[in-house]
């Protein structure tokens, strides 16, 4: 069955480029010019994924994300010319699954879409993907046993360190903002200063990475947050 992608983009050339590219990859592409039209189509067709521009003629894309997130967890990938970190953080914290800056290539788009769709499937708690171990390269994380191994070596993490790693692993391939991680680990009313997170991350990398200065498993999105290397047995 074809997956349906809803493209909400007011620039015709970009809208047509994305639509044509998706058609070659066996997606069903549905397009909208405005946020209002996009929201209406979203409600009626229930797409598998949304590709959203922020600079729409009637609504700001952030408003649209908020409206969709009131009742749906459908993956949303923002495609925008806005390059400021605060715009990316706001979109991700509001509920976007990923953020691509224009101009972009079709290969990057497809890779981000596959990650967002797999992530959406992984977080379906009725799916065996939710509890099965994370595995990428030499790293394995067994969520049920609270066990982290690198090759044959067991990595000893503190309780908080494991919570951070497990959160990132369950969301592997997806950018997690500093605020989002802080809220999930220390609660919604935690101090917004992310120093405690950075200290824990330094300890995690010292234990897990061969070269902590050039991490392989947990990558830094500068000014935004962290992205865990996507697991290689995602479904």
Per-residue confidence (pLDDT) for residue 86, from 0 to 100: 92
In angstroms, the CA 144 to CA 128 distance is: 12
Parallel/antiparallel/unpaired status of strands 153-155 and 147-150: antiparallel
Per-residue confidence (pLDDT) for residue 124, from 0 to 100: 54
Per-residue confidence (pLDDT) for residue 235, from 0 to 100: 43
Per-residue confidence (pLDDT) for residue 157, from 0 to 100: 95
- pLDDT of the chain along its 235 residues, tens only? 689 999 999 999 999 999 999 999 999 999 999 999 999 999 999 999 999 999 999 999 999 999 999 989 899 999 999 999 999 999 999 999 999 999 899 999 999 999 888 877 655 545 545 567 899 999 999 998 899 999 989 999 999 999 999 999 988 888 999 999 999 998 877 777 789 999 999 999 999 999 999 999 999 999 999 999 988 764 4
Parallel/antiparallel/unpaired status of strands 49-52 and 76-80: parallel
Parallel/antiparallel/unpaired status of strands 218-221 and 28-32: unpaired
pTM score above 0.85: no
Domains, the chain, ordered by start? 4-122 (3.40.50.2300), 134-228 (1.10.10.10)
Per-residue confidence (pLDDT) for residue 187, from 0 to 100: 83
In angstroms, the CA 74 to CA 68 distance is: 8
Q: Where are the beta strands (DSSP E) in the chain?
A: 4-8, 28-32, 49-52, 76-80, 98-101, 134-136, 139-142, 147-150, 153-155, 175-177, 218-221, 225-228
Per-residue confidence (pLDDT) for residue 215, from 0 to 100: 95
């Amino acid at each position: 069955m074809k997956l349906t992608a809803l493209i909400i983009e007011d620039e015709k050339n970009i809208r047509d480029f994305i639509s044509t590219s998706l058609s070659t990859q066996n997606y069903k592409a549905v397009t909208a010019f405005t946020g209002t039209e996009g929201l209406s189509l979203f409600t009626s067709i229930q797409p598998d994924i949304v590709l959203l521009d922020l600079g729409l003629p009637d609504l700001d894309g952030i408003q649209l994300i908020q409206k969709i997130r009131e009742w749906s967890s459908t993956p949303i990938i923002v495609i925008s010319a806005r390059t400021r970190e605060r715009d990316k953080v706001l979109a991700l914290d509001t509920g976007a699954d990923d953020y691509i800056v224009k101009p972009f290539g079709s290969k990057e788009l497809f890779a981000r879409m596959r990650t967002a769709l797999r992530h959406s499937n992984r977080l379906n708690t009725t799916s065996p993907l939710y509890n099965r171990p994370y595995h990428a390269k030499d790293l394995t994380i067994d969520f049920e046993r609270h066990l982290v191994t690198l090759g044959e070596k067991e990595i000893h993490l503190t309780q908080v360190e494991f919570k951070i790693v497990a959160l990132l692993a369950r969301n592997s391939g997806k950018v997690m903002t500093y605020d989002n991680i802080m809220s999930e680990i220390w609660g919604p009313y935690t101090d917004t200063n992310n120093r405690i997170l950075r200290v824990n991350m330094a300890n995690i990398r010292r234990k897990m990475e061969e070269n902590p200065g050039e991490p392989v498993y947990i990558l830094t999105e500068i000014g935004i947050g962290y992205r865990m290397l996507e697991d290689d047995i995602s479904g």
